[in-house]
Every structure is written in structure tokens, then in C-alpha cells.
Amino acid sequence: MDLYQELCRILGEDNVLKDEPMSRHTTFRVGGPADLFVTPEEEGQVQKALAAIRAAGVPFYIVGNGSNLLVGDLGYRGVILQIYQKMNRIQIRDSVIHAQAGALLSKIAAEAQAGALSGFEFASGIPGTLGGAVMMNAGAYGGEMKQVLIEARVLSAEGAFEDILAEDMELGYRTSVFSRNKGLVLGASIHLEPGDPEKIRERMEELKTQRTSKQPLEYPSAGSTFKRPEGYFAGKLIQDAGLRGFQVGGAQVSEKHCGFVINKDRASAKDIRSLMEQVSEKVYAQFGVRLEPEVKMIGEF
């Protein structure tokens, strides 16, 4: 209760919710209640809120739009701090886009196209926020964040604001210094190249067509469910294991794209996790390749 009151003082009561269902905040559309769910509106509030949470010794987890997250059916015992719609400003200066961590990649790509800037088309269909994309070095269709990042605005683990250059982020396949709990991304600067707005739009439409034709976007999911094993493609391994359409409860390996686990019919988080575990075991048994989840799993199942 003391922490709740302190967070209300820092953020305002409207930005501190009790027992908030996480199914409202994940693209899987599953997940039980978080004890506290907070939505800061600016950097200083993030800094003060995290200091209060740490001082109280309460567990916490940072989320964006929940596009790569599975929260257990029994919820999360602690504080979920969301950086999303209340911290999503985007500014363009010359060939550089400055955006807050809560800005959607699709929105940044649209702003880049409108500003005749090329190089971010690859991210136009990635269903996540800039903060998560920097943390995971998100990529698609031959592009990834490390190709366009200049620097990131970060709140360090010690609670200090820092500007970290891209070359110091240790950006690799779905990893960075931030994915190892070395700072919270609050925003980033992206360098793009001048381009023809119509050609940029055409490329974005081309990628959108590829996505809609090959991916099960009509169902709740977290996108690509497993990391790409070195030398293999997760979806191909799952398909070759005969698991297309494999189902546990309401969760299913997509019949459209085997790299996706979907919430087909009111799945529980337990259904989804069990399906992921069984897929990993079956693929390992047949091919000796261990599939690792790209989806983060938190809370009580």
C-alpha cells in the first residue's frame, strides 16, 4: 500500500492501476492481473518510479505494447511499468529521427516515409515499440536496428540518464547490452537516407503484402515465437517435424506459418507455454536442434 501511494504521488492516480489484467496489454491477449500497472508520462517519472520500486524491494518488469510477451494466467506479483502511448513522441531533424521508446515502429516508418527518409522500411510491419526494438536489435527482411541506430537515451541500472552510442550497445541477433539488464531504453536517434517518398511507400506496401500473405495476422500472437537457430529456420524445423497445426488447448502452431504460435480459440497462457515447450522438445528429439523462445515469459502460470 505504501508503494501504491508513493507511485500515485509520483505519477498521479490515473497512471497507477491495481490488479490490471495483462490480457489488455499483450498481443497474445492473455495474462492475469499485475499487482500494479504504471504508465509514466516522462523520463523523470520513470526515474523516480523505478527508484521507489527498487527501494520497496518489489519485483518489476518493463513492457512496451506487449508484442513479445507471455504473462501467466495468475498474473504478475509486482509492478509492470509500461512505456508506450504516453511516451511516444517522434521528431524529425534533417535525416535523423528522434523518438521516445514508446513509439511504434510502424508509426516511425510512416513518419520517415512522409519525411522522404529511406532505410526504415524493414521495420514498418514489426509489431513493437522502439524501446523493445533497440533492446532486442529487432530486424526483418534483411534490415535490423543496428544498421540505422545512432544512439539511445538510457536510464542506467544505477538510476542515471545516459546517452549510449550504437557501437557501445553490443547489438547482435536479438540481443544488446539492454537485454542483459544494463539500462532501460527511453528513446533513440535513427539516421536514415533521403529517398523518394513514393518508392519508400511502395517498398512498405510490398513488405506488408508479404507479411499478410505469409503470416497469421488475423490471430493474436507474439510474432515469431522462437529464435532462429544458427544454420536453420525455426519455422522450417517445426514444419518438418510434422507440427503444422499442432494444438494444445486453444493454442496452435499456425497452419499458415509454422514459426508462429497463435491464440486460436481463447487459449490460456498455460496452453501457449505448454505448446511452446512441446514443440521445442519434439524438434529436438527429431533434429537435435534446441529451439529457444523469442517470447519473454513472466508471472505465475
Rounded Cα distance, 151 and 164, in Å: 5
**Residue whose cell numbers read 491495481:** 18
CA 81 to chain centre: 14
Q: How many residues does the chain have?
A: 301
Q: Which residues pair with 262 in a beta bridge?
A: 221, 252
Q: Classify burial at 194, counting beta carbons within 10 Å of its beta carbon; exposed 0-12, middle 13-18, buried 19 or more.
A: exposed
Q: Say if CB 271 and CB 248 are below 8 A apart.
A: yes
CA-atom Rg of the chain in angstroms: 19
Cell numbers linked to 241: 517435424
- Rounded CA-CA distance 301/21 in Å is 14
Closest CA to 176 of 208, 207, 135: 135
Helix, coil or strand: residue 34: strand
Q: What is the SS3 string spanning 66-105?
A: CCCEEECCCEEEEEEEECCCCCCCEEEECCEEEEECCCEH
Cite the DSSP H helix spans in 149-289: 197-214, 234-240, 269-287
Q: Count of alpha carbons within 13 Å of 239, Cβ hemisphere only?
A: 12
Known catalytic residues are 174, 224, 294
Which residue type does 4 have? Y
